[in-house]
Amino acid sequence: MAQKKEMSGTERRVIEAIVDDNLSEVQALLLEPGLGVDFLDDTGMTPLQHAAFRARREICRFLLASGSDVNSNYHDNGYTALMFAALSGNVEVTRMMLDAGANPDHTNSVGRTAAQMAAFVGQHQCVAAINNFFPSSGLDIYTKPQGLEKEPRLPQHLAPVLVKMINMSNMNPVRIAYFLQDHKEILENSKKVSRVFDTLCEKAMKARDTSDIMALKTHYFATIIRRASKVYEEKQNLDGWIKSLVRGRESDGFPELQDKLIKQSLKEFPYPESELLQQMVHNLANPRLGTHPSAVVLLSQAINGQRYGANEEEDCTTCGQMRAEKKCSACKMVRYCDAYCQKLHWSTHKMFCKDLAVKHQKIQEQKQREHDEEAKHLAEIEAQKRQGEDEELNQKMEDTHIKDKNDAETSTLNGESEAEWNRKVVQDASQLQSLTQATVET
Ligand SMILES: [Zn+2]
Ligand SMILES: [Zn+2]
């Protein structure tokens, strides 16, 4: 069993190489005989845990392939590699730990799971990744003939791409359509795939640990795959369908078709008693202001957790991808992943871009006003402070002056009394002397 201890020179260098993200150095150092991949540092952390915490993807991949124990649990506070990955905020590394068999139910020394820890530090994408995780082995039984089956229910080569699809967090139908466009093999096997998804949905609801989330998700994907495959059969591509999903209505640009598609899918969910479904239906029937929350936002929150997608204004307007970097250069009010997403949305956005530009201008002016006011306010405070300091200084100087004067007066007073005393002493002495002399003379 591994022991917590002072690390050897080589061990220390392995950790340093992980910090520097230097994979080849880690590989070279671990060749040292007797070292092993799961040595512990003085807090009980393994190299994999260090690599997970720093989101060193390639090093994590290498350490796991080299047999590192993903559930090593000697850390002082009971943290596992999954917890460190979740704290790092890196979704890919988090999934890698799960795929390597990390136990998501493990708790640290204060009883928190990795998902709870990630939520605590605001890494909501990692929370969603953990809560939604579908293991890469999850489709294995469908890729091999079972019982009397002559052929498997799913062609083997589809499994990895379907696992990737099931692990998606973005529920926007446009994003899912992009995925299907990139993986036409799903559309070409749509009947088999959607049937397997239906089975996964049923299994999730009938399992001992019922998972409404997984059931809802697989059902939703099956709906989209069925719809997309119909289009694909007719047109041999999804371009027109994706355009129609992105298109917004004239009054406010709201994409009605995708909203309808999601609501229809919810209506067809075969488990109407599901609490998660009932909650969503309730929220959809009681829309707050305007079109919010839209069906896609509600679905995404139901599946990924309430805090997921909290910064909606940072998402791609077209496909809902989080933290989109590009903005419309004319109005700076909408974000997109890239030129492709922007181009798709232009026919809708052009109806609002000018107005949004005016709105943006107003917001900027308002911000400028607030900024100026803030600056003015700060300047006033500064001036008051300075005035206060001046006054304080004056007061201090005055106080010092008075004190000096008092000191001087006190010393004068003492001086006088001292002089007086001395005078008296001298007087006394001379009196005494003259007295003595007088006595002698007599
Ligand atoms: Zn996008
Ligand atoms: Zn614009």
Least confident of 103-117, 147-161, 290-304, 327-341: 290-304
Rounded average pLDDT over 53-74: 96
Residue with tokens 């002072």: 6
Omega prior to 293 cis, within 30 of 0? yes
Surrounding residues of ion ligand 2, Cβ less than 5 A: 328, 330-331, 353
Q: For residues 324 and 170, what is the distance between their CA atoms, to the nearest angstrom?
A: 13
* Per-residue pLDDT band at 414 (split at 50, 70, 90): very low
By C-alpha distance, which of 281, 265, 280 is closest to 228?
A: 265
* Closest ligand relative to 359 C-alpha: 2
List pLDDT tens digits, range 380-405.
998 888 888 788 777 776 766 655 55
pLDDT of residue 406: 55
Is residue 287 predicted with pLDDT exceeding 80? no
Torsion sign (Cα): 55, 56, 62, 68: negative
- Residue 95 · residue 133 · CB < 8 Å: yes
Query: How many angstroms is it from 321 CA to the middle of ligand 2?
Result: 18
Is residue 411 predicted with pLDDT exceeding 90? no
Tokens of 431: 């009196």
* Closest ligand relative to 342 C-alpha: 1
Greater confidence (401 vs 198) lies with 198
How high is the mean pLDDT of the chain? 87
Is residue 417 predicted with pLDDT exceeding 90? no
Residue with tokens 């250069």: 329
* Per-residue pLDDT band at 312 (split at 50, 70, 90): confident
CB contact set of 378 (below 8 Å; sequence gap of 6+): none
Is residue 435 predicted with pLDDT exceeding 50? no
- Phi, psi (rounded to 5 degrees) for 336: -140, 155
Torsion sign (Cα): 225, 230, 234, 239: negative
Is residue 99 predicted with pLDDT exceeding 50? yes
What does the domain layout of the chain look like in residue ranges? Answer: 9-131, 140-310
pLDDT of residue 292: 60
- Phi, psi (rounded to 5 degrees) for 406: -60, -45
Is residue 217 predicted with pLDDT exceeding 60? yes
Greater confidence (25 vs 168) lies with 25
Query: How many angstroms is it from 133 CA to the middle of ligand 1?
Result: 23
Query: How many angstroms is it from 239 CA to the middle of ligand 1?
Result: 15
Is residue 181 predicted with pLDDT exceeding 60? yes
pLDDT of residue 236: 95
Greater confidence (211 vs 321) lies with 321
- Prediction pTM value: 0.72
DSSP helix, strand, coil percent of the chain (3-state; round to 5) = 65, 0, 35
∠273-274-277 over CA atoms, to 5°?
A: 110
Query: How many angstroms is it from 384 CA to the middle of ligand 1?
Result: 51
Query: How many angstroms is it from 327 CA to the middle of ligand 2?
Result: 8
N- to C-terminal Cα separation, the chain: 115
* Closest ligand relative to 315 C-alpha: 1
pLDDT of residue 290: 52
Query: How many angstroms is it from 84 CA to the middle of ligand 2?
Result: 40
Q: Architecture of domain 9-131 in CATH?
A: Alpha Horseshoe (1.25)
**Percent of the chain whose predicted confidence (pLDDT) is above 70:** 87
* Per-residue pLDDT band at 231 (split at 50, 70, 90): very high
Residue with tokens 């299907």: 180
